Amino acid sequence: MATLDSKIPAGPLAEKWRRHKTEIKLVNPANKRKYEVIVVGAGLAGSSAAATLAELGYKVKNFVFHDSPRRAHSIAAQGGINAAKNYQNDGDSVYRLFYDTIKGGDYRSREANVHRLAEVSVNIIDQCVAQGVPFAREYGGLLANRSFGGAQVSRTFYARGQTGQQLLLGAYSALSRQVGLGTVQLHTHSEMLDLVVVGGQAKGIIVRDLVTGAISRHAADAVVLATGGYGNVFNLSTYARQSNATAIWRAYKRGACFANPCYTQIHPTCIPVTGDYQSKLTLMSESLRNDGRIWVPKRAEDRRKDPNTIPESDRDYYLERIYPSFGNLCPRDVASRAAKRVCDEGRGVGESGLGVYLDFGDAIRRLGEGGVRERYGNLFDIYHEITAENAYRTPMRIYPAVHYTMGGLWVDYNLMSNLPGLFVLGEANFSDHGANRLGASALMQGLADGYFVIPYTIGDYLASLKPGSRPSTDAPEFKQAEDNVRSLTLRLLGAKGREPVSHFHKRLGQLVWQHCGMARNRADLEKGLREIPALREEFWSGVRVPGSGDTLNQSLERAGRVADFLELAELMLRDALARDESCGCHFREEHQYPDGECKRDDANYAHVAAWEYQGEGKAPLRNVEALTYEFVKMSVRNYK
Amino acid sequence: MNLAGRLFCTTIGRKLLVAVTGVFLILFIIGHLIGNLQVFEDPDKINGYAHFLRSLGPGLWIARVVLLACAAIHIWAASALAIADRKARGPQEYKMNRWLEATFASRYMRWTGYVVLAFVLYHLAQFTWGGVQSATFKDNLPAYTMAHDYTAFGFVAVPAGTQVPDVRTMVIRGFQNPVVAVFYIVAVGLLSLHLLHGVESLFQTLGWRNSRWSRGLRAAVALACAAYFLGNLSIPGAVLAGELQPAAPATARR
Amino acid sequence: MSSSPPTLSVTLRVWRQPGASQPGRFVDYPARNLNPSMSFLEMLDVVNDELTAKGEEPIAFAHDCREGICGTCSLMIDGKPHGPHRGVATCQTYLRSFQDGDVIVVEPFRARAFPVIKDLVTDRSAFDQIQQAGGFVTVRTGSAPEANNLPVPKDDSDLAMDAAACIGCGACVAACKNASAMLFVAAKVSHLGLLPQGQAERDRRVLAMVQTMDAAGFGGCTNQYECGAACPKLISVDFIARLNRDYRRASFRAAFRPQPLEAGGSG
Ligand SMILES: Cc1cc2nc3c(=O)[nH]c(=O)nc-3n(C[C@H](O)[C@H](O)[C@H](O)COP(=O)(O)OP(=O)(O)OC[C@H]3O[C@@H](n4cnc5c(N)ncnc54)[C@H](O)[C@@H]3O)c2cc1C
Ligand code: HEM
Ligand code: HEM
Ligand code: SF4
Ligand code: F3S
Ligand code: FES
């Protein structure tokens, strides 16, 4: 039974972080270089952490499976990053950003963490601008903002439709500088396949070189995982194809608790599925909802008509109708479920009937086509590339798709998991977004964790270790972990089946989407829980992984990742079943208000569920960390 | 790395050298063309001009040295780059490789360049050293007596009555051999092609080009190169067409 | 339009090379009954699944985001990097751009500085080395001033953004007859050089990055502008002119600027 001590500092909310920083232990500068830190991942969280820790003087080893740190999935973020700068003078503040995030998360996140996030958000913008991130500006030369879902203030900073790219290039440049200085040892094409735990503490990792197949051991005083989200469990998602859960899943199997695995965000504005060959779904940035109006025909029989021929009177702008005050800008989970509902009513548009219109007719009338192009040009281009349709003429068709995983490894206020020495940052942890993430908050969190939290909190842990006390890679734990990796690799290569990995990934994806997608219920979840183990059986007997283990072998890479997804999926459904309430993205049909809104059960579920691995074939343990709200009062989320 | 290293040992530095030396070479050939066009005027003009240039003595040699240095650096740098560029492409050729944007002229810079080099060598042998076509070489021709003063910059450079090499006749006789004339025409044609890319390219290399006026630049350069070609074409052309005849012996001898 | 022609079948002529040191060759693969709104990479997925089913090794090709932003995908398709269209990456190339019965030649991006790892996958780490040499603004975390303390003229920051849009795919190198990395380096140097934040290190940056570019074995630029035409983000070759200018100025400044007696502080 793991102990989940959130280590939340005492004191008034706004004081906690400042006070904590003054109270935690420091490592003296001369000693820093005696500590080695492994950072896995170089997305926003990983590269910002690796760069900053190296600046502080720690010896850093950075591992990524990509061929370059710059390719991390963070690069794909489009819309923007939030910060409580209040440059718009529209009443924004640290408290409001904190409050919006807590509320957006449907009261399932930690007050202290979220407030810290809101506090450092302002430093992030300063840091990025100093690095040369070309944020959008006004003619006066000052920074511009746009508004984003779930907020009534305009606090989102953006760089065209490429905010994530620009922020990542900023962090990547800081990382590159350290690599150039020799303070960070960069290992590209290197996939972490196991965590090494020595004496109950995370002390190293096992890595496979994806080019040579060489498997190597790496010891350190602390291990930082910043390996991103696990949305590719669903196969079809807005994630990059290679994003995976392997690092956190293997850490989970080494004893790190996995928190709220069922919290997966479904993004309302994605390009609908066209065929079964499809490999990914493309997001149309949420910022489109600023000027686009979402509608479906009032009558189901109109759904195949040319939208331009459908008169206003026959259109149902359902978000504006149901949520007058937030309208098209209501939070993602709300918007997604609304779309699902109207499609279930048979009013969905497009061939599949799984789509709604995102209409820029009004915006074009208001701003002119040029004005719209100025704001969203590249998104319209993306849409055209994929659908060969011109969204300036006919409305876009959109449908929700898997986009983000709020769940992840459990961490305390210091971002350390229940395994001492294991720190988890960015999307890989569960920390700040509760049951639903607001737009433009993930970039903020990733950079907050990497630039401004871990550099302080890791010191507190390292200071408690004797310099040079890290174990050698000859320790039996390293050997055992390496053998474990080797045998898994051999097992995959030796599988005697004939189906490609993708076959199982697709089936798993459909299964999870049906049973644990936008809406969930007991019967479905139980059904899914029976089907997954069967599918897993089939995988191991039916999969074929061609090629060898000692060269670049993409089938092998994917096979290992899908094998992990097949296990993780089961935990997601378990969690969804055990959480017998609706909250944020977790919508249990049994628990809804007449208007189809989430019905939370704060009495019984105002807690984090942190699952603990119990061994092969054994049911995992469900630990809970109670969420206490000292400063905001839990209320029913209402975007009407 | 010091400045010399940055100019002579980096790709951008070398390219810079090609451009700057290119500028000098261009200035020379333009001036040279203007001088040569005097062949269409009274024999006094070009003969006087040629004699005047010779009489500059050290000045001429300075000019020659500068010119030679520019040509040498230009050719060396361009060739060194060319070799490095081949190497950078790597061992394996593309099976299929399309041109997307590069102009025709830009694809054959090396070849046009080397042909021009060959031409210049022949040209020098013909008109400066007399190694080839020596029968019509100026020194082997009867001297020409200036009928009038040749004035440069307002004062008399070559007074009437001076005996000077008959450059005009040399040139015209030289071109009366159709093979030579055609060779010249081809060579200056290729040189113009070389400049068609070269001059535009030079602006990019020196950092003075951008898409706001690159179209205009391209047009201007094309015009200039056409003009340069016609100017050079006119001399052997006129000789071939029989328009340009050596001066009547009467004026040539006393 | 997206749902017009029924299906198409093509022949893929693909470069197969087991490893960096082994020789490679072209192999033909039929791809039948494809949906025109399928992406080029999705077609390769299908072909690879068929190969796997037959027990053959699938074609290794680099990809990740599949929406034209990560710069991982890198195929030379019928002699043009990233396929027939302008301003898109390989992953944004759709089969509707091809005709039924086409024979499509698929090769890796080729350059001495981009050695083949396997089949269509190449090693582009030379780009990272160039970045490490100077593609940054030296600013320790936490030392940054308030963001709005330094206004940046909108036009400058927009232009910087144009340059910063580079996705580091290497198509410029692949397209350049000299395998020159000038467009990439120009984009990087200009992005920071156009912003006030980048001024302090402007000279050191351009000198260091160009030196590293040369050392990596890329060719020189002969101003042929193939790169700009092949670039998925249509990075303008104007930035190359800018790079040339920056480099020239930096070289001369470095040679003639008076030197402080002591170079205090740290790089
Ligand atoms: C299409 C899209 C648009 C988005 N838009 C926005 C937005 O506008 N605003 C916003 O705030 N958020 C947005 N998000 C969410 C946000 O981009 C991500 O949540 C965030 O970037 C995650 O960053 P990260 O550093 O945690 O992980 P990632 O960026 O995913 O990085 C993961 C890193 O870990 C490495 N890695 C993973 N596993 C291993 C392993 N086993 N071994 C070695 N290395 C490994 C990878 O190589 C990579 O470097 C968007 C997400 C998507 C999919
Ligand atoms: C139809 C075209 C040309 C004609 C009629 C012509 C004529 C001449 C003549 C008469 C001379 C010798 C002058 C003298 O020594 O008295 C000369 C010299 C020379 N020409 Fe030309 N020329 C022509 C084109 C060119 C071109 C295209 C180039 C260069 C690419 C060139 C390069 C030279 C050089 C380098 C010299 C030597 C100058 C010196 O003595 O230092 N010429 N030319
Ligand atoms: C009168 C003679 C010549 C003139 C006026 C001339 C002029 C120029 C100019 C202006 C350029 C463009 C430089 C740039 O791109 O920035 C150039 C490029 C070049 N020149 Fe010449 N050139 C001459 C002779 C030669 C010769 C004899 C060679 C023989 C090798 C040569 C080879 C080249 C090459 C290869 C280039 C291309 C360089 C590049 O684009 O990288 N040139 N020349
Ligand atoms: S400049 Fe263009 S082609 Fe070159 S790497 Fe950048 S994005 Fe790719
Ligand atoms: S194609 Fe090559 S030659 Fe220069 S302009 Fe582009 S790098
Ligand atoms: S796969 Fe990311 S750009 Fe093509």
pLDDT in tens, A445-486: 999 999 999 999 999 999 999 999 999 999 999 999 999 999
Q: What ligand has the least distance to the C-alpha of A206?
A: 1
Q: What ligand has the least distance to the C-alpha of A39?
A: 1
Q: In what order do the strands lie in the sheet with C80-81?
A: C25-34, C8-16, C103-108, C75-77, C80-81
Tokens encoding B165: 């090499």
* Region label for B42, one of left (φ > 0), alpha (ψ between -120 and 50) or beta (otherwise): beta
Residue among C65, C151, C161 whose CB faces A140 most closely: C151
How many helical (H) and strand (E) elements, i.e. helices and strands, does chain A have? 17, 19
Give the closest residue (by CA) to ligand 3 atom 39.
C222
* Torsion from C-alpha of C235, C240, C246, C249, nearest 10 degrees: -170
Q: Which residues pair with A414 in a beta bridge?
A: none
Helix ranges (H only) for A416-500 are 442-447, 454-462, 476-494
More confident residue, A290 or C207: C207
Q: How confident is the model at residue C263 (pLDDT cuts 50, 70, 90)?
A: low
Q: How confident is the model at residue B251 (pLDDT cuts 50, 70, 90)?
A: very low
Q: What is the pLDDT of residue A385?
A: 85
Asked whether the predicted pLDDT for residue C207 surpasses 60, the reply is yes
Looking at residue A621, the DSSP 8-state letter turns out to be E
C215 touches chain A (CB under 8 A): no
Q: What is the pLDDT of residue C259?
A: 83
Asked whether the predicted pLDDT for residue C3 surpasses 70, the reply is no
Q: What is the pLDDT of residue C267?
A: 46
Residue C175 CA, closest ligand 5 atom number? 1
Residue A354 three-state SS: coil
Contacts of C58 (CB under 8 A, 6+ apart): A546, A547, A554, A555, C47, C48, C49, C51, C52
Share of chain A above pLDDT 90, in %: 89
Sign of the Cα pseudo-torsion (A386, A391, A397, A400, in order): positive
Residue pLDDT, tens place only, A537-570: 999 999 999 999 999 999 999 999 999 999 999 9
| Subunit contact C224:B204, Cβ cutoff 8 A | no
The single residue listed with the structure tokens 């990097």 is C81
Chain C nearest-CA distance from A68, in A, is 7
Q: How confident is the model at residue B249 (pLDDT cuts 50, 70, 90)?
A: low
Residue B236 CA, closest ligand 2 atom number? 1
Residue A419 three-state SS: coil
Residue among C24, C110, C228 whose CB faces B94 most closely: C110
Give the closest residue (by CA) to ligand 5 atom 4.
C221
With contact defined as beta carbons under 8 Å apart, do A37 and A60 qualify?
yes
A506 touches chain C (CB under 8 A): no
Residue among B13, B92, B209 whose CB faces C241 most closely: B209
Asked whether the predicted pLDDT for residue A203 surpasses 90, the reply is yes
Length of chain B: 254
Residue pLDDT, tens place only, C211-241: 999 999 999 999 999 999 999 999 999 999 9
In angstroms, the CA B121 to CA C52 distance is: 64
In angstroms, the CA C44 to CA C40 distance is: 7
Count Cβ atoms within 10 A of the Cβ of residue A216 and give its class: 0-12 exposed, 13-18 middle, 19 or more buried.
middle
Asked whether the predicted pLDDT for residue A78 surpasses 90, the reply is no
Residue pLDDT, tens place only, B28-38: 999 999 999 99
Segment A307-327 shows an average pLDDT of: 93
Asked whether the predicted pLDDT for residue B12 surpasses 90, the reply is yes
A502 touches chain C (CB under 8 A): yes
Which backbone phi and psi does C210 adopt, to 5 degrees? -65, -40
Residue A268 three-state SS: strand
| pTM listed for this prediction | 0.96
Locate the chain A residue with the closest alpha carbon to C123.
Answer: A67
In angstroms, the CA A453 to CA A323 distance is: 37
Asked whether the predicted pLDDT for residue C4 surpasses 70, the reply is no
Chain A nearest-CA distance from C253, in A, is 24
The full DSSP string for B21-50 is HHHHHHHHHHHHHHHHHGGGS-HHHHHHHH
Q: What is the pLDDT of residue C5?
A: 53
Q: How confident is the model at residue C144 (pLDDT cuts 50, 70, 90)?
A: very high
| Residue C244 CB less than 6 A away from ligand 5 | no
In angstroms, the CA C157 to CA C196 distance is: 10
Share of chain A above pLDDT 70, in %: 100
| Subunit contact C3:A351, Cβ cutoff 8 A | yes
| Residue C213 CB less than 6 A away from ligand 5 | no
Looking at residue A403, the DSSP 8-state letter turns out to be E
Q: What is the pLDDT of residue C260?
A: 85
In angstroms, the CA B221 to CA B232 distance is: 16
Asked whether the predicted pLDDT for residue B100 surpasses 60, the reply is yes
For chain A, helix, strand, coil in percent to 5 are 45, 15, 40
C-alpha triplet B26, B29, B34: angle, nearest 5°: 125
Residue pLDDT, tens place only, A241-285: 999 999 999 999 999 999 999 999 999 999 999 888 899 999 988
In angstroms, the CA B203 to CA C238 distance is: 11
| Subunit contact C177:B13, Cβ cutoff 8 A | no
ipTM, two decimals: 0.95
Mean pLDDT score across all residues of chain A: 95
Average the pLDDT over each of B7-11, B56-60, C196-200 and give the range with the smallest value: B56-60
| Residue B225 CB less than 6 A away from ligand 3 | no
Segment A324-352 shows an average pLDDT of: 90
C7 touches chain A (CB under 8 A): no
Q: What is the crossing angle of helices A111-131 and A13-23, to 10°? A: 70
Residue type, C180: S
Q: How confident is the model at residue B252 (pLDDT cuts 50, 70, 90)?
A: very low
| Subunit contact B11:C214, Cβ cutoff 8 A | yes
Q: What is the pLDDT of residue A122?
A: 98
Segment A314-328 shows an average pLDDT of: 92
The CA R_g of chain A, rounded to the nearest whole Å, is 24
Pairing between β-strand A81-82 and β-strand C75-77 as defined by DSSP bridges:
unpaired
Asked whether the predicted pLDDT for residue B90 surpasses 90, the reply is yes
More confident residue, A341 or B71: B71
Q: E strands along A199-263, which residues?
A: 201-209, 215-219, 222-225, 258-259
- CB pairs A-C closer than 8 Å: 230
Chain B nearest-CA distance from C152, in A, is 22
Q: What ligand has the least distance to the C-alpha of A425?
A: 1
With contact defined as beta carbons under 8 Å apart, do A88 and A153 qualify?
yes
* Ligand 3 center to A459 CA (angstroms): 61
Contacts of A500 (CB under 8 A, 6+ apart): A543, A544, A555, C48, C49, C52, C53
CA B118 to chain centroid, in Å, comes to 12
Q: What is the pLDDT of residue A636?
A: 83
Residues of C in contact with A166 (CB under 8 A): 161, 164
Residue pLDDT, tens place only, C10-46: 999 999 999 999 999 999 999 999 999 899 999 999 9
Residues of C in contact with B207 (CB under 8 A): 241-246, 248
Locate the chain B residue with the closest alpha carbon to C107.
Answer: B94
Verify A-B touch: 3 or more CB pairs within 8 A. no
Tokens encoding A444: 């903020």
With contact defined as beta carbons under 8 Å apart, do A334 and A438 qualify?
no
Chain B nearest-CA distance from C213, in A, is 9
Chain C from 36 to 65: CB within 8 A of any A CB = 37-39, 41-42, 45-46, 48-49, 51-53, 55-58, 60, 62-65
Residue among B1, B89, B204 whose CB faces C244 most closely: B204
Residue among A162, A278, A388 whose CB faces C1 most closely: A388
Locate the chain B residue with the closest alpha carbon to C15.
Answer: B95
* Ligand 4 center to A607 CA (angstroms): 47
> Which among A127, A15, A17 has a CA at the least distance from the CA of A413?
A17
For chain B, helix, strand, coil in percent to 5 are 70, 5, 25
Give chains near B: 3+ CB pairs under 8 A. Answer: C
Contacts of A248 (CB under 8 A, 6+ apart): A225, A227, A230, A256, A258, A408, A409, A424, A428
Which backbone phi and psi does A358 adopt, to 5 degrees? -115, 105
| Residue C72 CB less than 6 A away from ligand 6 | yes
Residue type, A606: A
* Ligand 5 center to C223 CA (angstroms): 5
Residues of A in contact with C134 (CB under 8 A): 180
Q: What ligand has the least distance to the C-alpha of A190?
A: 1
Chain C nearest-CA distance from B214, in A, is 10
Q: What is the pLDDT of residue A161?
A: 83
Q: What is the pLDDT of residue C264?
A: 58
Asked whether the predicted pLDDT for residue C265 surpasses 80, the reply is no
Q: How far is CA C143 from CA A158, A303, C140, in A?
A: 22, 56, 6
C-alpha triplet A531, A108, A621: angle, nearest 5°: 45
| Residue B75 CB less than 6 A away from ligand 3 | yes
Pairing between β-strand A36-40 and β-strand A59-63 as defined by DSSP bridges:
parallel
Q: What is the pLDDT of residue B144?
A: 93
Residue among B92, B101, B211 whose CB faces C224 most closely: B101
> Which among A8, A14, A5, A26 has a CA at the least distance from the CA of A116?
A14
Chain C nearest-CA distance from A588, in A, is 31
| Subunit contact C220:B84, Cβ cutoff 8 A | yes
